[in-house]
């Protein structure tokens, strides 16, 4: 496909709490309920295999796959993803 697959893999996230959790390697009483397997992302960030950054919700094209959207927003994200009506 001609894509650059060299690390780090970049992930854009629209939740600032998720980004803070991913970058914070400390243990907190408020996060003790999170299963150990979800700490995997912290390890991949530390080893520079993955990078995480914020994308505003109104610019997050992945929302089209997870939410019901207003027509104008739906059409905007369809275009942003390079999709078209057949």
Q: How do residues 25-54 score in pLDDT, each as one tens digit?
A: 666 666 666 767 677 888 888 888 899 999
Helix (H, G, I), strand (E, B) or coil at 61: helix
pLDDT at 21: 81
C-beta separation of 22 from 52 below 8 A: yes
Neighbours of 22 (CB within 10 A): 20
For the question of whether the overall pTM of this predicted structure is more than 0.85, the answer is no
pLDDT at 2 over 70: yes
Q: Where are the domains of the chain?
A: 1-55, 56-86
Q: What is the dihedral of CA 65, 35, 17, 4, to 10 degrees?
A: -60
């Amino acid at each position: 496909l001609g894509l650059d697959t060299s690390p780090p893999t970049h992930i854009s996230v629209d939740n600032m709490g998720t980004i803070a959790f991913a970058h914070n390697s400390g243990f907190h009483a408020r996060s003790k309920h999170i299963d150990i397997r979800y700490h995997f992302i912290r390890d991949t960030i530390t080893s520079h295999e993955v990078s995480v950054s914020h994308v505003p919700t109104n610019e997050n094209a992945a929302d089209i796959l997870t939410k019901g959207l207003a027509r104008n927003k739906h059409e905007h994200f369809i275009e942003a993803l390079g999709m078209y009506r057949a």
